[in-house]
C-alpha cells in the first residue's frame, strides 16, 4: 500500500510592508517610484517559497505603480544567483564586478565586499491609467533610465520613509 504525502497549500499574507507565510518572510518598503526589499528569509529552500514571496512583492510594486525595485543582496553565490533567476541585475559598476566575481567563484561563502551588500535592481514599466497619459508616455518614455543606487541611498530612503510613519 502506497501512502501519498499530503501537504496543505502554503498561504501567504500580504500587508503594506511585509509578505509572509509559515516558511518565510519578505519585508519591503515602497516610496513613490522606488521599492526596496529590506529583508527576505526562507526557512525551507528549494520549494519555490522565495520565488513566490518575490512574485507577490512585484505584484505590490506594480499595484503601487513604482518603476524600480532594489535589493541589497547578501554577497553570496546563493543570494546573487537567486536574484538573477528572478531577473534582477546588479545596479552599478561595483555591484556588477562583485556579482560576477562571486557567482563565478568556486567558493560557497559570504564575501566581504566594500559595501557589505551587492545591490540588485529590476525596472518595471509604469501602468498608464488612461489614453491621454498613454500618448504622453509614448512620446516621453514610460521608464526613465536612472543612475545606479547605492546602499547608503537605500538606507537614507528607508530612514526617510519610516520617519513619516
Which of the residue ranges 4-13, 98-107, 133-142 would you say has the lowest mean pLDDT?
A: 133-142
Q: Which CATH number fits domain 13-160: 3.30.70.580, 3.40.630.30, 3.40.50.300, 3.40.50.2300?
A: 3.40.630.30
pLDDT tops 70 at residue 137: no
Domain-wise residue ranges, the chain: 13-160
State how far the Cα of 62 lies from the Cα of 144, in Å rounded to an integer: 16
CB contact set of 55 (below 8 Å; sequence gap of 6+): none
pTM: 0.72
User: Cα separation of 28 and 20, whole Å?
Assistant: 11
Mean pLDDT of 43-52: 90
Residues linked to residue 34 through DSSP beta bridges, in sequence order? 31, 68
Nearest to 15 by CA among 2, 7, 26, 3: 26
Residue 145: predicted pLDDT: 55
Amino acid at each position: 500500500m502506497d501512502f501519498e504525502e499530503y501537504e496543505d497549500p502554503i498561504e501567504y499574507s500580504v500587508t503594506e510592508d511585509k509578505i509572509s507565510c509559515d516558511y518565510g518572510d519578505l519585508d519591503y518598503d515602497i516610496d513613490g517610484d522606488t521599492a526596496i526589499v529590506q529583508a527576505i528569509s526562507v526557512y525551507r529552500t528549494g520549494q519555490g517559497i522565495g520565488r513566490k514571496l518575490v512574485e507577490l512583492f512585484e505584484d505590490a510594486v506594480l499595484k503601487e505603480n513604482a518603476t524600480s525595485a532594489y535589493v541589497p543582496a547578501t554577497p553570496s553565490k546563493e543570494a546573487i544567483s537567486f536574484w538573477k533567476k528572478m531577473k534582477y541585475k546588479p545596479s552599478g559598476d561595483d555591484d556588477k564586478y562583485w556579482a560576477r566575481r562571486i557567482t563565478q567563484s568556486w567558493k560557497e561563502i559570504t564575501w566581504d565586499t566594500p559595501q557589505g551588500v551587492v545591490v540588485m535592481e529590476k525596472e518595471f514599466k509604469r501602468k498608464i491609467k488612461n489614453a491621454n497619459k498613454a500618448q504622453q508616455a509614448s512620446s516621453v518614455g514610460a521608464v526613465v533610465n536612472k543612475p545606479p543606487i547605492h546602499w547608503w541611498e537605500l538606507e537614507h530612503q528607508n530612514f526617510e520613509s519610516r520617519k513619516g510613519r
